[in-house]
Amino acid sequence: MPPDDASSAGPDPSPSPGPGRVESLVTAPEGGAPPVRRDAVKIRPDGVEGDRYRRGDGHFQLDGCAVTLVAAEALDAVREETGVDVRDGRHRRNVVVDGFGPGLDPLLDATVAVGDARLRPVRRRPPCAHLADIAGEEGLAAALRDRGGLCCDVVEPGRVAVGDPVTVREADPRTAGAAIAERLADRAKGDGESPSDAH
């Protein structure tokens, strides 16, 4: 049987951690509109179909994100600490992912497969007072501090559905560079020891 494409493409670049999964999907058709939970969405090159930021109607349009992620673990922590449950979508992030910790640290600057789409989280998306006002929950912004999610560029558009896997396809450049440097250092160390082994 001939090898499939994955086996002929060289080493698999999919590092740990992962995989995670898509726990829920949220859009809002315009700024200030109630969030809508979705079973599936289409991610276009410029954002999520049906979402306010793709339509150019987000409250923070000048600092808008094509796609936003937030951790299910972060929303669980907010509920445990404050009693406020925003898993109904009032967090106003597009994709809730489970499996990477409350801050989504492993995903920042990596290339991430989310369903059929590929995203690159480029910066953190801290919450603001406007989020708390719309959600009707005083203190929500403070509760989400340091775990308000990530702002993503779209590398490849695609369909995303609840339950889809979330995997790191390429590590962020810093992590990848550190791993390469470590391998080179180990190789140099091994080469340096080999002459003494011959005596």
Phi, psi values for residue 184, rounded to 5°: -65, -40
Q: Is the pLDDT confidence value at 51 over 80?
A: yes
Distance CA 185, CA 130 (A): 49
pLDDT band for 132, please (50, 70, 90 cuts). Answer: low
**pTM of the predicted structure, to 2 decimals:** 0.73
Give the tokens for residue 43: 């991610």
Across residues 93-112, what is the average pLDDT? 94
Dihedral, CA of residue 56, residue 59, residue 62 and residue 63, to nearest 10? -110
Across residues 87-105, what is the average pLDDT? 91
Helix residue spans in 48-167 (DSSP H): 52-55, 72-82, 129-135, 140-143
Across residues 154-177, what is the average pLDDT? 88
Distance CA 129, CA 75 (A): 17
Across residues 24-28, what is the average pLDDT? 94
The chain-wide mean pLDDT, for the chain, equals 78
pLDDT band for 74, please (50, 70, 90 cuts). Answer: very high
Across residues 115-126, what is the average pLDDT? 93
